[in-house]
Every structure is written in structure tokens, then in C-alpha cells.
Amino acid sequence: MAPIDDLVAAAERAAADTPGTARAALDALPWLLAAIDDDRRSGLFDRWGRSSAVDESTREPLLPRSLFDALHARAGLAASWPTGNAGLLHGYGSLLSLAPAPYGLTRDRWLGGALAGAYGLPADHFLPWTGTPTLLARATEAATALLGTGEFGWYAPVDGRATRTALGAEHEGARPLAYAVAPSAGAAPLLVTTFPVADADTLRRELDEASARLRWNAV
């Protein structure tokens, strides 16, 4: 089968939400296990903050709890449902999510080329089963650079914790967004998510006018 077919089959298997089906789903994707192992060895997960596995808009879990546990166990990360590592959840967890978010399946940002296009990169830049380094390493590099060079930026404290949001230049009708939140007061912000924004004007008005709060499932 093609990699996307393997991925969908694994996600459907994990939906049974048992420890056994979660492990079987991951075992069926050796490229995913290899990527998690590489990121664990390199300490890449430490560059990402905390995120909820429950979508703030729909209030529904983005992935089964057993899969949440299996992913964090493989990555060697302590986590307590539904709060986990943002890089692991927004990167690899989103690939195995069957829950529709407000703008479609979360895996589409990686597989469909929308995020890569917004960054001005080749459409296959974030495909998780091809290229090096890992998907999360490529996402970390792009989002970190955007936070430092974005065309628009917002800096706001939330309960004493620094938050940073950046929007990049428009490519192919969308702008890339990167978001980072400090884990505690006085600490440096850590990455939480990156995604393409089609209606940047509306988002800019909201960020300019709304009270500061944690966004996009950050915890």
C-alpha cells in the first residue's frame, strides 16, 4: 500500500482505543517510529511546550487516549491526559487523528502541502515519510525561523507567561503562523504549533483587539 493508505489504516486501528491497538498502529508505521526515536535522541521534544489533546473549539479528543499514551511512551515523555508534548501531538499525533478540526483533518497541513506552500517551500517539504531530517525537525526549523522573522508579530503575557505569535509573508494565498508559549513565568517561550492561515486579516484584527489568552490548544 501507499504510505498514506498505511497511515489511514493505522489511524483506524488506533481508533479502537486500547493499548494493544495503539501499539499495533505505531508498529505498522516504521517510518513514524524511526522519526520519534530520532527526535527523542536529539532532544527535539524539549523545544516544544505543552498542548491539550482535546480541541479547544470542538471540545472533542483529537486522538484516542491509548494512542496518546503510546506516543508519549515511545518518545520517553511524561504526560497526563489530555496534556502532552505539543511537538509530539501537533506533529505525529495529528497524523493519526481521525477527528475533524474546524478546518479539516489536522494531518492535512503536513500531507496536503498547504503549510509548505504558505512557507514558500516545495509542496512535499513536510511529508513525514520522505526526506531528512524528521518531520518535526523540519517543522521546528521553519517555525523557529518564522518567530524571529515574521512579517507580523504579537507578544503578550498570559498569567505571567510570555506568548509569541508570528505571521509570515503570504505565499499561494496563505500565510504561515507560528505560536510559542513559555512553560512558566520568566521562562523562554516554547513552540506550540504552526499552521497555514488563509484569512490573515481576520486573525490579525482578532489578535490586535482580543484579550491575551492561550490559543490553539496550548496549556
Q: Does 93 have pLDDT greater than 80?
A: yes
For residue 81, the model assigns a pLDDT of 98
User: What's the pLDDT at 103?
Assistant: 74
Torsion angle of the four alpha carbons 190, 193, 199, 203, in this order, in degrees rounded to the nearest 10: -40
Write down the pLDDT at residue 100.
Answer: 82
Tens-place pLDDT, residues 2-40? 899 999 999 999 999 999 999 999 999 999 999 999 999
| Position 163 confidence tier, pLDDT thresholds 50, 70, 90 | very high
d(CA 203, CA 200): 5
pLDDT at position 120, please? 97
In the predicted model, what is the mean pLDDT of residues 66-88? 98
**What value does the mean pLDDT take over residues 162-180?**
97
- Compute CA distances 218 → 85, 100, 108, 144, whole Å: 10, 18, 20, 17
Q: What is the structure's pLDDT at 131?
A: 84
216/7 Cα distance (integer angstroms): 24
